[in-house]
Structure 1
Amino acid sequence: MFVHFGLYAVAARHEWVMNREEIEAERYARYADVFDPDLFDAAALARTAKQAGARYVVLTAKHHEGFCLWDTATTDFSAAEALMAMCRELQPHMIVNDRLGIPGDLVTPEQYQPSRPLERDGVPVLWEACQTAPRDAALFAAIGEWMHRHRRAVHGAGPSAFTAPSGVTYTQRGDRLYACLFDWPFGLLHLPDLAGRVRFARLLHDGSELRMREIPQAQQAFNMNPAAPPPGTLTLTLPTRKPEVALPVIELLLWDSP
């Protein structure tokens, strides 16, 4: 969870208010005279992050407008590399994103979701979503509730080599393949190239087993029998009603990982 907090909180608009609205430095500095964050509750912030399933929190101790949230004798740095080197020396395990214009630990595509895993020069890279969310504790609570039941599909999981059908996104961790269903199909879910590869299928939120089968290629559509999908397709029988979770996830236990 990334939290912007600084003098722009007084302006009550956004963290780039000085830049975007071209506020002179002298005029912007008046916010410092009235900046009194007496309602700031670090413990409540930490609880909110934990309940939402966040593994770490970033607080903007100093944003682009230069205001520091700590007592400091202001020091000028001549290059981002010098600042990075000092930070690495003081805290080798810190996480640095790519906003300095030099390589960091992860990249941060902002206000959009990549359609596939990100690469730099053909090499897969770590990345995190960077999307602005409203100041709504209920939103984080809903995320936390979903993460409580579905964290296996996120933590420690990565992209899968299998091709997901329309409306479905895969993540994978070893021999566990997770199908995230953004669209809930009526009755049947057809998964290409998974026939003979899956030993068990279940809904992740409650652990209930899902019936799976490979429909004979000679079968034609008649009454309640569907026509056969392409060869190699695994077909799952789903509950008629979508589970009451924001994003249903199916856990597929593979015979072996690809």
Structure 2
Amino acid sequence: MTITAPAAPQTETDASGLPAWFTHDRFGMFIHWGLYALPARHEWVKNHERITDEDYRKYFDHFDPDLFDPTDWARRAREAGMKYAVLTTKHHEGFALWDSQLTDYKATNTRFGRDIVREFVDAFRAEGIRIGFYHSLIDWHHPDFTIDGVHPRRDDSPEEIARLQDGRDMARYREYLHGQVEELLTGYGRIDYLFYDFSYRDNDHEDRWGGKGRDDWGSEELMALTKRLQPGIIVNDRLDIPGDIVTPEQYQPDKPMEVDGVPVPWEACQTFNGSWGYDRDNQDVKSVDLLVRMLVDGVSNNGNMLLNVGPTGRGEFDPVARRSLAGIGEWMHQHARSVYGAGPSSFRAPAGTVYTQRGDRLYLHLFTWPFEHVHLPDLAGKVVYAQLLNDASEVRYREIPPGTRAQNTGLGGQPAGTLTLTLPIVRPDVAVPVVELFLQED
């Protein structure tokens, strides 16, 4: 299935100064994959279960994803309508998915023995999908990363923590962090997006004692390095300094996001089931129609959605991910133009609906299916044609003069300026029905 869409913008940046592809493409794939796919109990399993390096070693020794097929991953992403993809090059466990020259704790030293980042980049680029990297600022494996309230060894005795801390040097770790980023940004061609994760020096969190932030990461220098090595790259907001975009995680903003009263580009990071890494027994799965509603709700508030997949320990997308991606792709096949290149509208949408708009096309997303009529405020005299987007079937509409009383089967009682659509009784068999409204040109 091929997702058709309007042509990408020709300008290099959008009105906010961000590379224009980001607010045009709107929908990306996050991929969390690492040693934590083997225990299959959440990507923070080492932290949650206070696992030592010695006990965690068994996952390194048995990492051998023989069914890993990045071309399959990339095809499923494209068919779902995703335009960019972000892979965890290293998560908090410290395991590198590429052939880093700065550590032995890497995929090429496992039984698998392959550079996963290289294969990801090549496969997704071949499908026309932009490339992003996630890189953890945290590293629970590195011998210079100091113990803190987020570290797996945080509950050891004070004496044991003191022993573990002896000789650790965050300056050496900072050099390692910057060195690995330089490897990633010089070894794989054009990289469009870098998602750093995360800073936690907030003193309001008592359980995050010894937290780390901009000074520990050398964030100003790291941002400068990132921008120098990859001009035009988008960087997120988790270095404890301002980034290019804001990244709300596992919640949906109810309006366009702002920083100090100024609208900012943003991206909601979402999961199928609340876990980023493969979590075998987690069945708290979002439905396809909910995921689609989340996507278009974000676009209506000028945001993107980065939807995560956590591949299994054998390297496959699990059945939940495959079904969900296919379902989203089926909807996107018919409705992509309400997403790509679209954004918020100045018109006020009725309850149970959201608008997105692209030029003179206004898209009404119906989260609930009404009985026959839907009343659209302030649109009288502004629409020249309406149709259901899934099949381009005409939707009739009328403008009801103000002051008209509703009697028996006659419509009325709507305020001046209301446009009323007449919809079929039977709801279209799609995840979220959309009416495409063609507006009068100015």
Fold in common (TM above 0.5): yes
Question: Of 225, 233, 250, which residue of structure 1 is paired with 2:435?
Answer: 250
Q: 3-state SS of the aligned residue for 1:186?
A: coil
Q: Which amino acid in the other structure matches residue 158 of structure 1?
A: G
For 1:95 and 1:51, how far apart are their aligned partners in 2? 24
| 3-state SS of 2:234 partner | coil
The structure with higher relative contact order (CA 8 Å, sep 6+) is 2
Moved more, 203-212 or 47-56: 203-212
**Cα displacement (A) at 1:159:** 0.9
Counterpart of 2:238 in 1: which secondary structure? coil
* Contact preservation (8 Å) 1:180, 1:249: yes
Are 1:188 and 1:236, in contact at CA under 8 Å, matched by a contact in 2? yes
Gaps of 5+ in 1: none
Amino acid corresponding to residue 81 of structure 1 in structure 2:
E
The answer to whether the aligner puts 1:37 opposite 2:37 as a matched pair is no
Matched, 1:60 2:78: no
TM-score by length of 1: 0.93
TM-score, normalised via structure 2 length: 0.56
1:124 aligned partner? 263
Aligned to 1:84: 223
Q: Map Cα deviations across residues 149-187 of structure 1 (whole Å, 9 max, x no partner).
A: 111111111111111110010111121111110011111
Which residue of the partner structure matches residue 46 of structure 2?
A: 18
Distance 1:196 1:26 in 2: 71
- Match of residue 232 from structure 1: 417
Q: What one-letter code is carried by the residue in structure 2 that aligns with 1:230?
A: P
Q: Distance in 2 between matches of 1:133 and 1:25?
A: 29
Distance 2:423 2:67 in 1: 48
Question: Once superposed, what is the RMSD of the aligned Cα atoms?
Answer: 1.6
Whether 2:303 is the aligned partner of 1:164: answer no
Q: Which amino acid aligns with 2:246?
A: V
1:139 aligned to 2:324?
yes
Where does structure 1 differ by over 6 angstroms across 4 or more consecutive aligned residues? none
Give distance in 2, aligned partners of 1:150 and 1:91: 33
Map 1:198-237 onto structure 2 (within 5 A): 198-237=383-422
Q: Does 1:99 align with 2:127?
A: no
Quote the Cα distance in structure 1 between the aligned partners of 2:403 and 2:222.
66
1:5-39 deviation per Cα after TM superposition (whole angstroms, max 9, x unaligned): 00101111211111222222332233211111222
Instruction: Classify the secondary structure of the residue corresponding to 2:38.
Output: helix
Counterpart secondary structure, 2:393: coil
Q: Structure 1 residue 69: deviation in Å?
A: 0.7
Deviation at 1:83, TM superposition (A): 3.0
- Answer 1 or 2: which has greater helix percent: 2
Counterparts in 2 of 1:251 and 1:45: CA distance versus 1, 3 Å: same
Query: Which range moved further: 35-44 or 182-191?
Result: 35-44
1:60 counterpart SS class? strand
How many equivalent pairs are there?
Answer: 257
CA distance in 2, matches of 1:94, 1:16: 28
Separation in 2, partners of 1:88, 1:26: 37
Q: Give aligned-pair identity as a percent.
A: 60
